[in-house]
Structure 1
Amino acid sequence: MSKVKAASRPAARKKDSLLHHIRKEWKLYTFLILPILYYVLFKYVPVLGNIIAFRRYKGGPNILGQDWVGFRYFNQFLTDPSFWNAFWNTLRLSIGYLLVRFPVTLIFALLINEIRKQKWKKTVQTISYLPHFISLVVVCGMVKELLASNGPINSLIASLGLDKIAFLSEPGWFDTIYIGSGVWQALGWGTILYLTAMTNINTELYEASSIDGAGKFKQAIHVTIPGIMPTIMTLLIMDIGGIVTSSNMQKILLLYNPLTQERADIIGTLVYRMGIAGGNFSYAAAVGLFEAVIGLILVTGANFLSKKFTETSLW
Structure 2
Amino acid sequence: MDTGKQSVSRTRWEHIRKNSFLYLLLAPALLLTILFKYVPMYGAVIAFKDFSPIRGIMHSDWVGFKHFEKFLTSPNFEVIFMNTLKLSAFGLICGFPIPILLALMLNQVRRKGIKKNIQLFLYAPNFVSVIVIAGMLFIFLSPTGPINQIVSWISGQPLMFMTDPEYFRWVYILSDIWATAGWASIIYVAALANVDPELHNAASLDGASLLRRIWHIDLPTIKPIMAIVFILAAGGIMSIGFEKAYLLQTSMNLPSSEIIATYVYKIGLQSGDYAYSAAVGLFNSLINVILLLGVNFIVKKLNDNEGLY
Equivalent residue of 1:80, what SS? coil
User: Which residue pairs with 1:186 in the alignment?
Assistant: 180
Q: Does 1:238 align with 2:232?
A: yes
Q: How far did 1:234 drift?
A: 0.4
**Contact 1:244/1:291 (CA < 8 Å) preserved in 2?**
yes
Does the 8 Å contact 2:16/2:23 carry over to 1? no
3-state DSSP class of the match of 1:36?
helix
Q: Number of residues paired by the alignment?
A: 308
Alignment of 1:170-185 (within 5 A): 170-185=164-179
Determine if contact 1:234/1:313 at 8 Å carries over to the other structure: no
* Equivalent in the alignment of 2:48: 54
TM-score of the superposed pair, with normalisation by structure 2:
0.94
Counterparts of 1:75-90 in structure 2, within 5 Å, are: 75-90=69-84
Q: Match of 2:45, SS? A: helix
TM-score norm. by structure 1 comes to 0.92
1-side partners of 2:161 and 2:143: how far apart?
8
Aligned pairs for 1:1-315 (under 5 A) are: 3-19=1-17, 21-22=19-20, 25=21, 30-60=24-54, 62-160=56-154, 162-245=156-239, 247-311=240-304
The 3 A distance-change label for structure 1 pair 129 and 60 is farther
Q: Is the 8 A contact 1:303 1:313 kept in 2?
A: no
**In the alignment, residue 4 of structure 2 is paired with which amino acid?**
A
Flag the 1:158–1:20 CA change in 2: closer, same or farther, 3 A.
Answer: closer
Which residue identity does 2:221 align to in structure 1?
A: G
1:18-66: CA deviations, max 9, x gaps?
A: 13542xx3xx655444323322221111100110010001224721110
CA shift digits 1:175-220 (9 cap, x unpaired) = 1100110000011101100011112223332223222211111111
- 1:54–1:68 Cα contact (<8 Å) kept: yes
Secondary structure in structure 1 of the residue aligned to 2:57: coil
Superposition deviation, residue 297 in structure 1: 0.9
Moved more, 36-45 or 113-122: 36-45
Contact conserved, 2:231 with 2:296, CA < 8 A, in 1? Answer: yes
CA RMSD of aligned residues (A): 1.9
Question: Which whole-Å deviations, capped at 9, do the CAs of 1:137-195 have from their partners, x for residues lacking one?
Answer: 00110011000111111122233462111111111110110011000001110110001
Counterpart contact for 1:274–1:284, Cα < 8 Å: yes
**Gap regions ≥5 residues in structure 2:** none
1:294 Cα deviation from its structure 2 partner: 0.9
Give, in whole Å, the separation in 2 of the partners of 1:60 and 1:283: 17
CA gap 1:68/1:227 in 2 versus in 1, 3 angstroms = same
Alpha-carbon shift at residue 7 of structure 1 (Å): 4.4
SS at match of 2:284: helix
Q: Secondary structure at the match of 1:187?
A: helix
Task: Write out per-residue CA displacement over residues 115-140 of structure 1, whole angstroms, 9 at most, x where no aligned residue.
Answer: 11111111100000000001110011
- Separation in 2 of the partners of 1:34 and 1:12? 26
% identity of equivalent residues: 35
Q: 1:132, 1:61 → 2: CA distance?
A: 43
Q: How far off its partner does 1:226 sit? A: 1.0
Between 1:155-164 and 1:114-123, the stretch displaced more is 155-164
Whole-angstrom distance in 2 between the partners of 1:100 and 1:177: 13
